[in-house]
Amino acid sequence: MASTDIDFSFKQGPDLFAPKDLIELGRPGSGVANLAGDFVLVPYSEYSLEKKVNEKSVYIVPVESSTPPLKIPLPKGGDVFWLNTGTLGHVVEGTNGTELYAIYFTWNVEAGTLNVSDPPTLLIGTFPTKTAANFRYSSKSGYLVFSDNVWPDGNLSTVQEQDKNWENRGNTAYVYDTTYARHWDTWVGKKRPALFSVRLQQDPDRNWIFGNDFNSPLKGTGHQSPVEPFGGTDDFDVSETHIVYTTKDPKLPEAWHTKQNVYIVDIAGKSLPRELTSGKQGAIHNPVLNVQGTKAAWLELDKDGYESDRAKIVIYDLEKDVRYTLTQKWDRSPDSLAFSKEGTFIYFTAGDEAKIKIWALPIPPTPNESTTDPKLPSKYTTPIALTHRHAASTLQPLFNGRLLFTQSSLTSPNDVFIIRNLDHFHAEVLQNDGVVSFKGTADQVTRLTKNALKGKDLSEGEEFWFKGANKRDVQGWVVKPGGWKDEDRKKWPIVLLIHGGPQGAWEDQWSTRWNPNIFAQQGYFVVAINPTGSTTFGQEFTDAIAEDWGGKPFVDMQKGWKYILDTYPQVDRDRAVAAGASWGGYAINWIQGHPEFGFNFKALVCHDGVFDSNYNGYSTDELFFFNHEWGGRPWDKKSKELSLKFSPSNFVHKWSTPQLLIHGSKDYRLPETESIGAFHALQQLEIPSRLVVFPDENHWVMNHGNSMKWHYEVFRWFDLFVGVALN
Annotated catalytic sites, by residue? 582, 667, 699
Asked if residue 226 has a cis previous peptide bond (ω within 30° of 0), the answer is yes
Sheet containing strand 236-238, edge to edge, reads 236-238, 242-248, 260-266, 274-275
Q: Is 605 exposed, middle or buried (0-12, 13-18, 19+ CB in 10 A)?
A: buried
DSSP-based three-state secondary structure for 357: strand
Cβ(254)–Cβ(229) below 8 Å? no
Q: What is residue 215's DSSP assignment?
A: B
Q: What are phi and psi of 601, to 5 degrees?
A: -70, 140
β-pair partners for 392: 407
DSSP-based three-state secondary structure for 449: coil
Compute the distance between CA of residue 722 and CA of residue 421 in angstroms, rounded to an integer. Answer: 53
Q: What is residue 249's DSSP assignment?
A: -
Sheet containing strand 603-607, edge to edge, reads 462-467, 473-479, 525-530, 492-498, 571-581, 603-607, 659-664, 689-694
Compute the distance between CA of residue 415 and CA of residue 245 in angstroms, rounded to an integer. Answer: 28
Compute the distance between CA of residue 580 and CA of residue 159 in angstroms, rounded to an integer. Answer: 42
Q: How many CB atoms lie within 10 A of CB 66?
A: 6
Cβ(705)–Cβ(693) below 8 Å? no
Q: Is 319 exposed, middle or buried (0-12, 13-18, 19+ CB in 10 A)?
A: exposed
Contacts of 143 (CB under 8 A, 6+ apart): 137, 197, 198, 199, 200, 238, 267, 268
CA 601 to chain centroid: 31
Question: CA torsion 714→720→724→726, rounded to 10°?
Answer: -160
Q: Is 543 exposed, middle or buried (0-12, 13-18, 19+ CB in 10 A)?
A: middle
Alpha helices of 497-593 — where are they, by DSSP H?
516-521, 539-543, 552-567, 583-592
